[in-house]
């Protein structure tokens, strides 16, 4: 069996390395940080890990329906493509900072992109 | 609607109701204090049924593995059979009040002698049990390796049940019970040159006083910056002791901060966290300890993270006051 994307990236350790960098970028970005306001940091960090694990092609139990349910309240508050693009941008920059090879970054971005319609509840 | 089974009875748990509210609402006495998943007073065990992950946040691995959970933040999605903690887990130790002394800032310093060995790290907290069942958490300021008696700093709150009783009634020679210790906010050796930033308000100095001295005793060589804040100078304490410590250890820095209008010489103007961030704008690689007012702790935690500190390097102990005290009487 060929090595999975998640393994190539370094598995859970890669998620741990990325979560701080990624979450700091998201919270510092005034275009999107209002969506994260008032959420407990510990819980939020756990969800960021779930996010990254999913984008890295790792094991998760989320269905498209779960993604819709998790983001529906945000869509109601105005979540749109521009916010999605901002998050994707931070994901890409995080991986670059961690010196992940370009072809793996491209794979991650494809996975993340594939959730767009669910996240935006379309 | 999930059902909670407890001692041969079962109770219906309403949507979004915690196990604690469900049980106490039906007259089952479960001890609690902060009601927000921090003090661990409401520890219970799920004998059957899975508890939500969120109800195990902050618990030690060993307790999680045995399905212990915090009843105040456990909103079950399935039936649960629960019990109070086994005697050995919630085990209480008898302590004797060796000394009681009023420091500044409405703080009473208690020195407690334990009859049995009591293992702890300075900075953790214990639950103090009064005979009538009232339980409150207090942080540990003493160092075990010096064989100091267990030291707690209790701030006297207006009409506070436990703190008022400690201040007015408790006396030297009295006995009390404690359980614990609990909490992850303590000094771990291994990175002696890392920068340490400690910010506390009010009695939040108690754990920090323990952690700073623990770090120094364990040979920490990196910079240690302590900020203690209050509105006015009368709310600060151990000022002279801390200044003496600074004389002794060149890597230690102590800044007493006042947020009120009156700033005597030797004090910094502003809230402790504001002063700290103005001195230390970049916190990449630092380890951070935050204790005291819950609003200060939450906001400072976020700011420290955004200033570069890694999430795993930030230890935060909000001194949450029991919310049943603040709720208007029904
Ligand atoms: C992890 C942790 C560590 C802690 N460490 C420390 C420490 O080291 N030192 C320390 O001093 N404290 C510490 N605390 C806080 C401590 O546990 C107690 O919450 C605190 O001492 C108050 O308890 P009390 O019984 O005196 O007050 P309570 O009786 O619980 O009352 C709390 C406040 O509410 C007010 N109140 C009561 N009833 C009402 C009402 N009906 N309406 C409006 N207001 C009301 C009271 O006047 C009082 O000001 C810590 C808390 C936590 C969670
Ligand atoms: C790139 C595609 C995205 C993926 C794969 C994704 C994935 C996830 C996952 C797995 C969760 C956790 C769900 C749970 O366990 O409850 C979550 C929650 C969340 N997401 Fe996303 N997400 C994406 C885009 C976004 C965007 C663009 C935003 C906002 C700018 C956002 C904001 C949030 C918030 C605020 C939560 C927490 C919701 C809550 O706690 O109530 N997400 N996301
Ligand atoms: S943790 Fe539940 S009452 Fe404090």
- Pocket probe for ligand 1: among B37, B112, B137, the residue whose CB has the most ligand atoms within 8 Å is B137
Ligand 2 in reach of A55 Cβ (< 6 A): yes
CB < 8 Å to A28, chain B: 306
In whole angstroms, what is the distance from residue A6 CA to residue B200 CA?
A: 41
pLDDT at residue B68, rounded to an integer: 92
Parts of chain B belonging to CATH 3.40.50.80: 196-327
Average of pLDDT values for A51-79?
Answer: 89
pLDDT at residue B326, rounded to an integer: 46
* Fold held by A5-119: Globin-like (1.10.490)
Q: Quick check: A60 pLDDT over 70? A: yes
User: pLDDT tens for residues A22-53?
Assistant: 999 999 999 999 998 877 777 787 788 889 98
Contact A28 B301 (CB under 8 A): no
Parts of chain B belonging to CATH 3.10.20.30: 3-83
Q: Is A93 in CB contact (< 8 Å) with chain B?
A: no
The domain limits of chain A are 5-119
User: pLDDT tens for residues A70-106?
Assistant: 899 999 999 999 999 999 999 999 999 999 999 999 9
How many A from CA of A47 to the centre of ligand 2?
7
Nearest CA to ligand 1 atom 21: B163
pLDDT at residue A85, rounded to an integer: 97
CATH numeric code, B3-83: 3.10.20.30
Q: Give A30 to chain B, closest Cα distance, Å.
A: 13
pLDDT at residue B270, rounded to an integer: 97
- Pocket probe for ligand 3: among B35, B138, B320, the residue whose CB has the most ligand atoms within 8 Å is B35
pLDDT at residue B319, rounded to an integer: 85
**How is chain A split among helix, strand and coil, in percent rounded to 5?**
75, 0, 25
Of the candidates A23, A41, A43, the beta carbon closest to that of B54 is on A43
pLDDT at residue B324, rounded to an integer: 58
Q: Tens-digit pLDDT profile for chain B (330 aa)?
A: 899 999 989 999 998 899 999 999 999 989 888 888 888 889 999 999 999 988 998 787 778 888 999 999 999 999 999 999 876 666 788 999 999 999 987 999 999 998 888 889 999 999 999 988 899 999 999 998 777 899 999 999 989 999 999 999 999 999 999 988 888 889 988 899 999 999 999 999 999 999 999 999 999 999 999 999 999 999 999 999 999 999 999 999 999 999 999 999 999 999 999 999 999 999 999 999 999 998 899 899 999 999 999 988 999 888 888 755 544 433
The superfamily in CATH containing domain B93-182 is Translation factors (2.40.30.10)
DSSP codes, A60-105: ----HHHHHHHHHHHHHTT--HHHHHHHHHHHHHHHHHTT--HHHH
3-class secondary structure, B239: helix
Q: Which residue of A has its CA nearest to B301?
A: A41
Q: Is B36 in CB contact (< 8 Å) with chain A?
A: no
pLDDT at residue B321, rounded to an integer: 82
Q: Quick check: A1 pLDDT over 80? A: no
Q: Is B202 left (phi over 0), alpha (psi -120 to 50) or beta?
A: left
Parts of chain B belonging to CATH 2.40.30.10: 93-182
Instruction: Calculate the alpha carbon distances from B138 to A54, B103, B212 in Å.
Output: 41, 16, 17
Nearest CA to ligand 2 atom 31: A71
* Fold held by B196-327: Rossmann fold (3.40.50)
Q: Quick check: A58 pLDDT over 50? A: yes
In whole angstroms, what is the distance from residue B238 CA to residue B236 CA?
A: 7
Q: Is A34 in CB contact (< 8 Å) with chain B?
A: no
C-alpha B168 chain-centroid distance: 23
How many A from CA of B72 to the centre of ligand 3?
5
pLDDT at residue B37, rounded to an integer: 85
């Amino acid at each position: 069996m060929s090595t999975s994307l998640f393994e190539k990236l370094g598995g859970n350790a890669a998620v741990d390395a990325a979560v701080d960098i990624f979450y700091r970028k998201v919270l510092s970005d005034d275009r999107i940080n209002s969506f994260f306001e008032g959420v407990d940091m510990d819980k939020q960090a756990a969800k960021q890990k779930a996010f990254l694990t999913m984008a890295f092609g790792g094991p998760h139990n989320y269905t498209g329906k779960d993604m819709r349910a998790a983001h529906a309240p945000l869509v109601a508050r105005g979540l749109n493509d521009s916010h999605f693009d901002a998050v994707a941008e931070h994901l890409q920059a995080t991986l670059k900072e961690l010196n992940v090879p370009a072809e793996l970054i491209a794979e991650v971005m494809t996975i993340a992109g594939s959730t767009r319609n669910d996240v935006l509840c379309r | 609607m999930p059902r909670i089974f407890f001692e041969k009875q079962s109770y219906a748990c309403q949507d979004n109701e915690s196990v604690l509210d469900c049980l106490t609402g039906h007259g089952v006495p479960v001890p609690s204090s902060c009601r927000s998943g921090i003090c661990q007073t409401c520890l219970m065990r799920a004998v059957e049924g899975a508890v939500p992950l969120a109800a195990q946040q902050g618990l030690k691995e060993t307790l999680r593995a045995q399905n212990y959970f915090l009843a105040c933040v456990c909103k079950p999605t399935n039936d649960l059979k629960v019990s109070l903690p086994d005697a050995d887990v919630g085990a209480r130790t008898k302590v004797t009040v060796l000394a009681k002394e009023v420091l500044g800032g409405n703080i009473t310093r208690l020195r407690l002698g334990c009859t049995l060995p009591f293992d702890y790290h300075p900075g953790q907290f214990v639950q103090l049990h009064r005979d009538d069942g009232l339980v409150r958490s207090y942080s540990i300021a003493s160092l075990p390796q010096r064989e100091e008696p267990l030291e707690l700093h209790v701030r006297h709150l207006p009409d506070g049940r436990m703190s008022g009783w400690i201040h007015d009634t408790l006396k030297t020679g009295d006995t009390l019970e404690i359980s614990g210790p609990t909490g992850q906010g303590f000094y771990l050796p291994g990175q002696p040159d890392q920068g340490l930033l400690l910010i506390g308000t009010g009695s939040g100095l108690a754990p920090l006083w323990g952690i700073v001295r623990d770090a120094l005793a364990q040979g920490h060589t990196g910079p240690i910056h302590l900020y203690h804040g209050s509105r006015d100078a009368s709310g600060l304490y151990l000022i002279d002791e801390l200044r003496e410590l600074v004389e002794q250890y060149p890597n230690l820095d102590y800044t007493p901060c006042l947020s009120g209008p009156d700033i005597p010489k030797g004090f910094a103007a502003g809230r402790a966290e504001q002063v700290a961030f103005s001195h230390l704008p970049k916190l990449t690689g630092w380890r951070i300890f935050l204790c005291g007012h819950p609003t200060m702790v939450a906001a400072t935690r976020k700011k420290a993270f955004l200033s570069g500190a890694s999430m795993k390097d930030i230890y935060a102990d909000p001194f949450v006051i029991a919310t049943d005290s603040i709720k208007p009487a029904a």
